[in-house]
Chain A
Amino acid sequence: MTVEFVNATFPIITVSIVIPLIAAGLLFLLDEKHAKPVSIITSIIVFVLSSYMLFAYDYSTYKIQFYEKYTWIPYLGVSYEVGVDALSLTMVWLTALCFVAAFVWSTNIQKRIKEYFISFLVLEAACIGVFVSWDLVWFYIFWEAMLIPMFLIIGVWGYAERIYAATKFFIYTFFGSLFLLIGVVGMYIYQYMEKGILSTSYFDLINLGLPFRLEVIFFLLLALGFAIKVPMWPFHTWLPAAHVQAPTAGSVILAAVLLKMGTYGFVRFSLPWFPEASKYFMPVMFTLGVIAIIYTAMMALAQTHIKRLIAYSSVSHMGFVTIGTFALNMNGLNGAIITMISHGFTSAALFLAAGYIYERVHSYEIKDLGGLARFMPVFATLFMISAMASAGLPGLSGFVGEFLVLLGTFDVSKLTAVLAGISLIVGAGYTLWLYHKAMFKESELSSSKIERWEKLRDMNTPEFLSFIPLVVLMFVIGLYPAWWVRLLEKTSAAILSKFIGG
């Protein structure tokens, strides 16, 4: 596969990585009261840059755009190599947007403000870096560097069991990442032995022509790293713990951005690098995906804790992404990528909603809620839209992706498509159940609760502002998916070129 590049006239990607880091360094020196405005402005600048890229991106052909490459470690053949195709670009844009939402939301934070915003800024730089790096060493650096701030965010600003959750998150991810590293190093060595090329560039490793046996080994090593991050069943146990304990903004980033790294890894690396192994493991991935979808949807039904419920629903949605990816056809992959974006919006919005409820009621337990809709109508509307988008109501973003995934899967395995389709009903079930229990059921409210509820205020400005763009975008994708499909088309075709030709 040969890839064309369009060099950046202005190093816009590097700038979007460096700006948050500079801001983080600046905050270390500045007074605490500047932390909020500086972070919000920084994240808005990054968002503007990524939006500019989104509109300046030429999606009529497959080229790596805004491409920069500088030699970095000649001894190991490592370069600093960044650029975007449509997949990276949408992920970067999603990341930038979610960080704006997280920062705006975090104006409510009171505890250790400076360190909080520094952690998030470093996290933002690392997350963007993961999606734009085409050099495997840089990819790995960003992939791992992200652990440090996230570990602190969960561990310092989380709830009661935060230390356990943070450690579990760290160890799980670190474990997977090291196997990912072994895989990449193995391929690098193989490339050197066979071809005499010293390079860690994605575009060199893609043309390895591995024998099938090695392809399987490397596929498994990389897949372990990605599967833990996704997380796929049975590696998902860190996720509910981390989500439940993380602070609201941390949950938002975790669900909207960090989970996407795993699926991004599958799409970006596993498919183009190991086409034969991907075909070979398709049934396995389908099975794991379907188990994830059904099992975790069932688990979600049984939850009484709002965040845990949303966490399980995330695993379920990621199952859709997995089967869409490994359907190995255009519809499936487009659907998987759109589900990734859509899940970014919906899960971010749902976790914001959960955080919002907690701020008011100081409980995440569903039984402590009920009848809230009457007392906070604006919130109830936005929450409703997000929940419906998550459940896959047509006209909202969740439907588009899941529909395309099912369409793609149906061509390959009817059974998988049917099973996954059935679980959509369960998905609608737990979402509606959650909404019903939390927001309606006024008739069952005790008088003491009504008394308390009457004192509740509806959304304040930062909360509203962080919510509204997500909800608007759910409509944008849901009502006009054609633009997104067109944006992604050439990229999906390029990724699948080893399966469908061209």
Chain B
Amino acid sequence: MSVLQELVAGIGIPNFKVLIPEIIILLTALVVFTIELLTKARFLITVITALGLFLAAIPALTMEQGDITFYGLYSVDTFSLTFKFFLILSTFFVVIVLRPYLESKRTYYGEYYYLILFALLGMMIMVSAPNLVTFYIGIELASITIYILAGMFKKDYLSKEGAFKYLILGGTGTAIISYGIALIYGRTGSFDFVTVADSITQSNLDVGGVAGIVLLIIGLALKASSVPFHFWTPDAYQGAPTPITAFMAVAAKIATFAVILRIMVEAFPFAYEIWNLGWALLAAASMIFGNFVALKQDNVKRMLAYSSIAHSGYILAALAAPTDVAFTALIFYSLVYIFMGLGGFIFLSALERQYSWSNHIDDFRGLAKRSPMLALFMLIFMFSMLGIPPTVGFFGKLGIFLALIGSDIWWLAVVLVVMSIVSAGYYLRVVIYMYMHEPISSARFNLSLGESFTLAFMATAILILGIYPTVFLDISQLLGNFLIQGVGR
């Protein structure tokens, strides 16, 4: 028996079959990296990236049985697979609109593609983590690549400033997270969610446990751009190339919400009173601050950045209630936010390529006359973010509502309602400028096929889900129940 065989017999071979999506993404990233070194065939790079994402999405969707692999360090289950599929999907849309945008801005670099893939890999690791260490590796991989992506407008001061802010604050966030993890390890002697869950309960909380949880919440809130840890968000979102902003605001956010939910429910199920209160306060602050500041913005990209802070508030509000309804609501809202968020930011990315478009609200004047179809899409995105039926945003808010009122947390429900009304101020403003002002220029818009397809897809999805949310609600409920059943495994 050779040494290798002995090792294998001793500790077993990890089950690589369940890692196929990650492996495909990693290989695609390496292939893109190599091709980018050798050729300058931009179209080829896009196609290979998109193809890799497509190939990775199939196993993520069809894989039936999950497994905990890598010696208990990596859990492939329904929850993570679903989120992986949606992360891949949103990355796919970012990738297909990226090239025309970069070429029009004359900042094309092949690096974008493999960095995006590595960030995606990090997020996939994040949502698969059954363990604080795996989670940490995932969040670091995702964050570091996104720091670079945010600063890829190398000649643009705003982009560099945003990326630098993001780097400093994001680095602080990961430091805080690692400190929290250390405290929790010191308290429980384990990184494993299941073991941590058993050791930290409501009755035996002490300084170490509480401090660990609180630090972890702060670090995660920073990643989810929740007020008061949001300072990097507006600058980084505004400065980054717009498709990358879409990637940050949607994929990275969704992964963060998934991982927050997972850690809270699986690692601290018996200390829920702390994190209920913590997230409720953070959510209320995000809703209030995000909406009020968004009202004052004239740059629509920055406005959407603040609106995404407000949406973090809506989504995180679900964590104020430790019930299956709340978890379902959080998952549902995260999933449908993909469509609104991508729609809004990719709309901007498509128009930024046009002549004399600066994302200023004045540029939206008379858009409905210049291009009725585009205006209609933006109208749908705006009303969906506002939460007016028959768009899916309504069901997102309704779910959160049900969760909050069902757990008797009326104050947060009222904050949500009032802030929704405030948000009408800036979402309507975009619609007003598009439909009720005269255009200042009559230049026509030229959209690439990928951009038109993405916008049409998002708008249609929002309307269809707004009429028939059943499937998504069922998925969310399934995942919510899955998490709860996992408690005290």
Contact = CB atoms under 8 A, between A and B. Distances in A.
Interface of A: 72-76, 112, 114-115, 137, 140-141, 144-145, 147-148, 151-152, 155-156, 162-163, 166-167, 170-171, 174-175, 178-179, 181-182, 185-186, 188-189, 192
B433 to A, nearest CB: 10
24 contacts: A73-B473, A74-B470, A75-B470, A76-B473, A115-B372, A140-B389, A145-B388, A152-B435, A162-B436, A166-B432, A166-B436, A167-B432, A170-B424, A171-B428, A174-B420, A174-B421, A178-B420, A181-B417, A185-B398, A185-B405, A186-B405, A189-B405, A189-B406, A192-B406
Interface in B371-428: 372, 379, 383, 388-390, 394, 398, 401-402, 405-406, 413-414, 417, 420-421, 424-425, 428
Given A144-B394, A185-B401, 17 more contacts: A73-B470, A75-B474, A115-B368, A115-B372, A145-B388, A147-B388, A148-B379, A151-B431, A167-B428, A167-B432, A171-B424, A178-B420, A178-B421, A181-B398, A181-B401, A182-B417, A185-B398
A155 B436 CA distance: 6
Contacts of A178: 417, 420-421
Contacts of B242: none
A21 to B, nearest CB: 10
Interface string B428-442: 100110011000000
B100 interface: no
A148 B383 contact: yes
Contacts of B405: 182, 185-186, 189
Given A141-B394, A189-B402, A151 B420 contact: no
A191 to B, nearest CB: 11
B256 interface: no
User: Number of contact residues on B: which range applies?
Assistant: 20 to 34
B424 to A, nearest CB: 6
B91 interface: no
Interface of B: 328, 368-369, 372, 379, 383, 388-390, 394, 398, 401-402, 405-406, 413-414, 417, 420-421, 424-425, 428, 431-432, 435-436, 468-470, 473-474, 477
Contacts of A181: 398, 401, 417
A170 B388 CA distance: 11
A148 B388 contact: yes
A483 to B, nearest CB: 37
Contacts of B328: 75
A186 B477 CA distance: 21
Q: Which 8 A-B pairs have the closest CB atoms?
A: A141-B389, A155-B436, A178-B417, A75-B473, A73-B470, A189-B406, A144-B389, A145-B390
Contacts of B379: 148
Contact of A175 (B383, B413, B421, B477): B421
A160 to B, nearest CB: 12
Contacts of B383: 148
Nearest to A119: B435
B417 A141 contact: no
Given A156-B435, A166-B436, A75 B390 contact: no
B390 A141 contact: yes
Nearest to B332: A75
Given A181-B401, A182-B413, A171 B421 contact: yes
B417 A179 contact: yes
B436 A163 contact: yes
Given A178-B420, A181-B401, A151 B428 contact: yes
Nearest to B435: A156
Nearest to B401: A185
Contact of A72 (B388, B424, B470): B470
A145 B389 contact: yes
Contacts of B420: 174, 178
Nearest to B432: A163
A186 B225 CA distance: 31
Given A147-B388, A148-B383, A155-B436, A182 B401 contact: yes
Interface centre among A72, A144, A175 (most CB of B within 10 A): A144
Contacts of B469: 73
Contacts of A171: 421, 424-425, 428
Contacts of A73: 469-470, 473
Contacts of A148: 379, 383, 388
Nearest to B368: A115
Contacts of A141: 389-390, 394
A167 B430 CA distance: 12
Nearest to B380: A148
A330 to B, nearest CB: 35
A75 B477 contact: yes
Given A144-B388, A145-B390, A181-B401, A156 B417 contact: no
A76 B388 CA distance: 19
Contacts of B424: 170-171, 174
Contacts of B389: 140-141, 144-145
A186 to B, nearest CB: 6
B402 A185 contact: yes
B436 A156 contact: yes
A178 B413 CA distance: 11
A133 to B, nearest CB: 12
